[in-house]
Chain A
């Protein structure tokens, strides 16, 4: 098989954007798979899309609802599914530096 056009660096760059941490082996498998699939989808280059509007929204109408407040989920029910909960909130790793 020819060497993939997509580089290992690109695979790790995209993985970082996707918040995935593949091993070297996984990254290699992803590289070959992505290369094959990307190679296939470039067939779209043959299609003349000059003056064609993209389909950005699938819905035929975009109906709005009344702006009224209704009860949401109960806090206890939501926190019951949390990996870690504390003081009525989700306990998560530190997000901001300092303090």
Chain B
């Protein structure tokens, strides 16, 4: 059974548990298990224990504690934490120590959470398997010959293996949801603009969102409540009142209309996924939900759209890594040679591929045919959702077409890897909230995820439905045998 973050924080607040003993227990698990999984890049025991002690001292002084009091957290290594290495799993930032805290790190600290480690990821968040890290791949705790998913593979593996009750990841095209599905846990990508991106190293600015990963939806809801909210330092941070996402737990879901998308190409789907999804839909019907067929004709263009928009934005965002102000510098004959030598040595192959693709799509003569065209199809995809949501309250799909694939299975063909994102990309393009939760297992006991999507700002609907589904299936209590 996994530890619940909510339960831990309540016990710390009541004085039944000390934050320091909790931190020690999780650090022990990390020390024992991380070398095999490579989920965590930088673990700072001294700093973590000091932070935990500070929470205990705060309580001893009679001060009020935050909603994550004493709760250990691991965060993806593209989030800046002051004094911690922040490498984005890249050689180009291999020695970079962040001089400031990301907004979400500040929020976790205000809530008295305890940061244990920075987690491994695909380099600059570009990948779906955590095989593109400069510091080695992450293994899936359910089967170490398999990928944990990506790009927040380290965060997902860490929660699944019990290295931390909750984690933060970032999601641009599915990077918290898909690893959550592959690792049998729950994750949320919030509505675009809900969580500040200040201190998140940018990949694609119009798509990136920080999201929680947890062993259950209540914990995910609590973490989301802590990290969400207006931050003037992020120009895309929405000016909306703070929301208590836990208020949605226990809400009645009878009569909720669940949209199922008809006409999608499912030829690439593993039979175990089709079976688990079918069973999930039956479960939802048993809970009183009403299935509704919806048509979304432009969803089949999501992969092409995303890999033009996201790579174009990435080519711009990664221009700052030039060896001048931070990170690696490889000195060349002159300025341009230094830029080229630094970036060629510092970036991995997948990152370079995407920068090249994005640069091409934006270059003179090609901008209209590629980038502008993709921006228009993006509008059509958003319109597909708007029309679908006139007839349903949430839309359900599998999170991924297959369970966790083997390490090395898809790395030879970048396009094959991209096509695996077919379900998670559309909500990212539309900027709407999406959640992945376990809905079954394959014959080989590999987790399978159910993805639920809702209109903008309707995270509550997703949380309520997932809460009911979780209680009906009991799947949140399944843990990988090797990490029980």
Contact B236 A55 (CB under 8 A): no
Q: Note all chain A residues with C-beta closer than 8 A to B50.
A: none
Q: Min CB distance, A87 to chain B, in Å?
A: 15
Q: Note all chain A residues with C-beta closer than 8 A to B238.
A: 59-61, 63
Residue of A26, A44, A56, A62 touching B304 (CB-CB under 8 A)? A44
Q: Note all chain A residues with C-beta closer than 8 A to B236.
A: 58-59, 62
Contact B334 A52 (CB under 8 A): no
Report the nearest B residue to A96, measured CB to CB. Answer: B335
Interface string of A66-86 (1 = CB under 8 A from B): 100000011001101111100
Q: Note all chain B residues with C-beta closer than 8 A to A52.
A: 376-377, 379-380
Contact B192 A58 (CB under 8 A): yes
Known: A26-B344, A41-B374. 11 other contacts (CB 8 A): A14-B359, A30-B353, A44-B305, A44-B373, A45-B373, A49-B373, A54-B378, A55-B382, A59-B236, A82-B326, A92-B324
Q: Which of B286-307 contact A (CB under 8 A)?
A: 298, 301, 303-305, 307
Choose the segment among B17-25, B95-103, B130-138 that binds chain A (4+ C-beta atoms closer than 8 Å): B95-103
The verdict on A21 contacting B341 (CB below 8 Å), with A15-B356, A43-B301 known, is yes
Q: Note all chain B residues with C-beta closer than 8 A to A58.
A: 192-193, 205-207, 236, 431
Contact A93 B380 (CB under 8 A): no
Instruction: Give the distance in Å from the alpha carbon of A29 to the alpha carbon of B380 in the complex.
Output: 34
Q: Which of A27-57 contact B (CB under 8 A)?
A: 29-30, 33-34, 36-38, 40-41, 43-45, 47, 49, 52-57
Q: Note all chain B residues with C-beta closer than 8 A to A10.
A: 360
Report if B279 contacts A (CB, 8 A). Answer: no
B interface secondary structure, majority? helix
Contact A37 B357 (CB under 8 A): yes
The verdict on A80 contacting B232 (CB below 8 Å), with A14-B360, A36-B415 known, is no
Q: Min CB distance, B410 to chain A, in Å?
A: 14
Report if A3 contacts B (CB, 8 A). Answer: no
Report the nearest A residue to B235, measured CB to CB. Answer: A62
Contact A30 B307 (CB under 8 A): no
Residues on A lying within 8 angstroms of B by beta carbon are 10-11, 14-15, 17-22, 26, 29-30, 33-34, 36-38, 40-41, 43-45, 47, 49, 52-63, 65-66, 73-74, 77-78, 80-84, 90, 92-95
Q: Note all chain A residues with C-beta closer than 8 A to B418.
A: 37
Q: Note all chain B residues with C-beta closer than 8 A to A84.
A: 329
Nearest 10 interchain pairs by C-beta: A21-B340, A54-B375, A83-B329, A77-B99, A58-B206, A65-B232, A49-B376, A63-B239, A19-B339, A41-B304
Q: Min CB distance, B150 to chain A, in Å?
A: 18
Interface string of B396-432 (1 = CB under 8 A from A): 0000000000000000011100100000000001010
Contact B359 A73 (CB under 8 A): no
Q: Note all chain B residues with C-beta closer than 8 A to A34.
A: 353, 356-357, 360
Q: Note all chain A residues with C-beta closer than 8 A to B327.
A: 81, 83
Contact B331 A93 (CB under 8 A): yes
Q: Note all chain B residues with C-beta closer than 8 A to A14.
A: 356, 359-360, 363
Contact B193 A60 (CB under 8 A): yes
Chain B residues within 8 Å of chain A by Cβ, number: 74
Q: Note all chain A residues with C-beta closer than 8 A to B355.
A: 18, 20
Report if B260 contacts A (CB, 8 A). Answer: no
Q: Note all chain B residues with C-beta closer than 8 A to A92.
A: 324, 335
Contact B99 A78 (CB under 8 A): yes
Contact A55 B378 (CB under 8 A): yes
Q: Note all chain B residues with C-beta closer than 8 A to A29.
A: 349
Report the nearest B residue to A91, measured CB to CB. Answer: B324
Contact A93 B338 (CB under 8 A): yes
Q: Note all chain A residues with C-beta closer than 8 A to B338.
A: 93
Could you list 27 examples of A-B contacts with CB < 8 Å? A14-B356, A17-B359, A18-B315, A26-B344, A29-B349, A30-B353, A33-B414, A36-B415, A37-B353, A37-B357, A38-B357, A43-B301, A45-B373, A47-B376, A47-B377, A54-B375, A58-B206, A58-B207, A60-B193, A60-B456, A61-B193, A62-B236, A81-B99, A82-B325, A82-B326, A83-B325, A83-B327
The verdict on A83 contacting B328 (CB below 8 Å), with A20-B340, A34-B357 known, is yes
Report the nearest A residue to B306, measured CB to CB. Answer: A41
Report if B343 contacts A (CB, 8 A). Answer: yes
Q: Note all chain B residues with C-beta closer than 8 A to A53.
A: 376, 379
Instruction: Give the distance in Å from the alpha carbon of A83 to the alpha carbon of B96 in the complex.
Output: 10
Q: Min CB distance, B199 to chain A, in Å?
A: 11
Contact A44 B301 (CB under 8 A): yes
Q: Note all chain A residues with C-beta closer than 8 A to B341.
A: 21
Instruction: Give the distance in Å from the alpha carbon of A64 to the alpha carbon of B324 in the complex.
Output: 31
Instruction: Give the distance in Å from the alpha carbon of A49 to the alpha carbon of B372 in the complex.
Output: 10
Q: Note all chain B residues with C-beta closer than 8 A to A49.
A: 373, 376-377, 380
Report if B322 contacts A (CB, 8 A). Answer: yes
